[in-house]
Amino acid sequence: MVWLPNSHSNQKDIQTMFDDYVSHNIKFGIVNIDSRWATNFNTFVFNSTNFPSVRNMLDGFRAKNIHIVLWMTSFINTDSPTYDYAQNHGYLFNKTIKWWHGEGRLLNYFNDQAVNWWHSQIERLIDNVGPIHAFKADGSDPYIIELLDPHVTWERYRNAYYNDTFQILRRLIGPDALIMSRPVDADLDYSPKDIVFMGWVGDEDATYDGLKTALRYMLESGRRGYVGFGSDIGGYRTDSKSGPLGRTKELFLRWTAVGALSSFMENGGNGEHLPWKFDNETTDVYRSWVNLHYKLVPYLYSEGIKVALGRNGTLMRPCDDIETLFSHSYFLGPNIYVVPLLRDPAPGQTQRLWLPKSSTNEWINYFNTSIIHKSHRIIKEDTSRLDRIPIYVEQNSLIPMYDIEKDYSLNAFRFVLWGESKLNEKETTLFTRDGQQWLLKFNHSQRRLTVHFIQHYDSTEKQQWIWKFCQYVYDKEFCSDQWLELSHNASVQLDYLI
């Protein structure tokens, strides 16, 4: 997801951002339009002065398969054109509260007529400008404690706020609709756990301490069972000590790596976040991390669905071995281990880091598959490069990945076996974006990979997908020759299996 701060919430700047990402060949899937897009906060009517032809712009985005996110809260300000109507009909709680965008009153989600009126405005918005795939539901809910009403607790209000926002979009848009909301921020739970697939952990400083804070909240979100989340790459706030761009390129790229190795990669905030505004090296490194993130999406999507259906896990699980204390190391899904780097690179720089246990007792260096480490030990890793952080894949993992070189529209899969074939059988599950579930079965003795259709989860029309088998070993890539259609019992003979 890419976005600009609310000082740039206008059609010209957002269209320019969109075009610049395209011209720099940097893939993205969501445009978020920040606060101040509406005639007043939460009127759900675009400001026609700042957005003179917003339907055309959004239709252009959607034609490129880009999803739209709009910022919102549950406040109606006293100077809003909808305030008098809502107040006179008893739709608001009876206390004016000062918040970061003025003074207003909170919507009463426990009044059915208030909720119906709120929904009617969202329906009108979608009728006027087309599908909105998510709202960024910002943190208005904690202000409910200022009511001092024991019957309307923060927990009760936040559950109503986030659930209602999620459910109204699901009803109007369908199963692709989500909300963007906080999991854990300031060590507190915000959203209900079962609706956070696109979470972000609040506003952080553009410093390494800010990156550490974001990691701490993300890992705590994982501990508490939230499925999917990320953070504002480079920090939401600016650092006055870091020059006119508000952050250094080194911090920005270290944070970009963490963003790419999160389930939700998103970039925007105050100061400069556009990579080409730093320099060409930053643009190239940023692009490489985005491409890595997209390659991993089938793995993240499949593993995320498993834990969401089972309500028993997260995509970003902290490594709690005592040897990783203060390192913020984590598992991305079950098979990938990440060690964030929390300092600038320097020539010859190395870092001692801990490799935890794995089911095969070995970890493969993601960037050089000829380097294999035994698990449960300390190693010394080169950390001198700005375009790398330590990433390790469990030996013999079978991981579905997109082949973005073959098909940039993300309809081509590589089913990748990492390392030498040491296990006779290996299985994993693939979930496609149109709701299909597949079982991938690797058999070493038969030298074959077979795909089996399991079920289709919703009524979305099936898409056509293609796939091939690859093995990454000895710093080389060995792939089957032909692309096959993803169909029941399709298989490939692995003549060059190592």
Domains of the chain: 2-314 (3.20.20.80), 322-394 (2.60.40.1180), 398-493 (2.60.40.1180)
Interatomic CA distance for residues 3 and 86, integer angstroms: 31
Distance of CA 271 to the CA centre of its chain: 21
Structural element, H or E, at residue 219? helix 208-223
Sequence-distant (6+) residues with CB within 8 A of 23 are none
pLDDT tens, position by position, 54-107: 999 999 999 999 999 999 999 999 999 999 999 999 999 999 999 999 999 999
Distance of CA 289 to the CA centre of its chain: 13
Contact of 231 with 214, CB cutoff 8 Å = yes
Tell me whether strands 178-180 and 134-137 are parallel, antiparallel or unpaired: parallel
Per-residue pLDDT band for 496 (boundaries 50, 70, 90) equals: confident
Rounded to 5°, the CA angle 223-260-161 comes to: 55
Sequence-distant (6+) residues with CB within 8 A of 150 are none
Sequence-distant (6+) residues with CB within 8 A of 382 are 349, 350, 388
Instruction: Quickly list DSSP for 2-34.
Output: EEE-GGG-SHHHHHHHHHHHHHTT----EEEE-
Q: Taking the CA of residue 275 as centre, how many other CA atoms within 13 Å lie in the half-sphere pointing to its CB?
A: 29
Instruction: Quickly list DSSP for 385-418.
Output: -TT---EEEETT-EEEEE-TTT-TTS-EEEEEEE
pLDDT tens, position by position, 473-491: 999 999 999 999 999 999 9
pLDDT tens, position by position, 136-186: 999 999 999 999 999 999 999 999 999 999 999 999 999 889 999 999 999
Distance set, CA 426 to CA 224, 423, 474 (Å): 30, 7, 20
Interatomic CA distance for residues 371 and 475, integer angstroms: 8
408 pLDDT exceeds 90?
no
Interatomic CA distance for residues 427 and 399, integer angstroms: 10
DSSP annotation of 288 reads: H
Distance set, CA 460 to CA 130, 323, 432, 457 (Å): 19, 46, 11, 8
Look at residues 495, 359, 479 and name the one whose alpha carbon lies nearest to residue 426. Answer: 359
Per-residue pLDDT band for 302 (boundaries 50, 70, 90) equals: very high
Interatomic CA distance for residues 399 and 416, integer angstroms: 5
Main-chain phi, psi angles of 118, to 5 degrees:
-60, -45
Contact of 37 with 136, CB cutoff 8 Å = no
pLDDT tens, position by position, 12-30: 999 999 999 999 999 999 9
